[in-house]
Amino acid sequence: MEIIFNNVSLNFSHKIIFSSLNLKLTSGKIIQIIGENGSGKSTFLNLAAHLIRPTSGKIIAFCDEKKLQGEDYRKKIAMLTPDMKVYENLTAEENLKFFVGLRGKILSRDDTLNLWERVGLKEDDIKGKYAGKLSTGMSQRLKFAVFLAMDAKVWLLDEPTANLDEAGRETVIREAQQAAKKGALVLWATNDERERRAADEVINLSSDTIRIS
């Protein structure tokens, strides 16, 4: 996978967020997006996801040298943000099945148990329990399970370890590293130093010259 920012500029209400960005993001890496509050970290991910359009320039995605657009691209990406919500009146398993179903996927019993194990949830602790009754940390693990179930080629993560304990943080970092080794492109927006140490490359949006380093 490749995501190319070609001379991308973005303005909001006459405020310049980005100006003439030229970046090439390639798979098999964890790329961290850092910067001061208001520098545009979340906005950068939204641009990469094609959720917002640049004021000028283009953001182009390629897979195996084939240009991806629209639904073809959306099927390749998964996004985890602080704004992600689960349905409080559905159980954890019902939420998982619902969101995966939106991608046209069906999880087997073994698939579901494997996801719970990967994110550190015990089935006995969540079985039959509405998502609205889960602790903040357990809810975040549920969201990460939904994210992992998408089996995406492009990971877009905004503050991915927020509301997680140390074990949860290690889980997210480990899964991201494994995904990158398998060829995924992992972008995460965070100033967390532990996540920075796990990154292969960094984009500093607070720098006068925005580049990959």
* Per-chain mean pLDDT for the chain: 94
What is the percent of the chain with per-residue pLDDT over 70, rounded to a whole number? Answer: 100
pLDDT, residue 207, reads: 87
Q: Are 45 and 156 in contact, with CB atoms under 8 Å apart?
A: yes
pLDDT, residue 29, reads: 96
CB atoms within 10 A of CB 121: 20
pLDDT, residue 193, reads: 87
The secondary structure element, H or E, covering residue 170 is helix 166-181
Query: CA nearest 118: which of 181, 179, 192?
Result: 179
Q: What's this model's pTM, rounded to 2 decimal places?
A: 0.94
Looking at the DSSP bridge assignments, the partners of residue 96 are: none
pLDDT, residue 38, reads: 87
pLDDT, residue 13, reads: 83
Q: Please state which CATH class domain 1-76+153-213 belongs to.
A: alpha beta
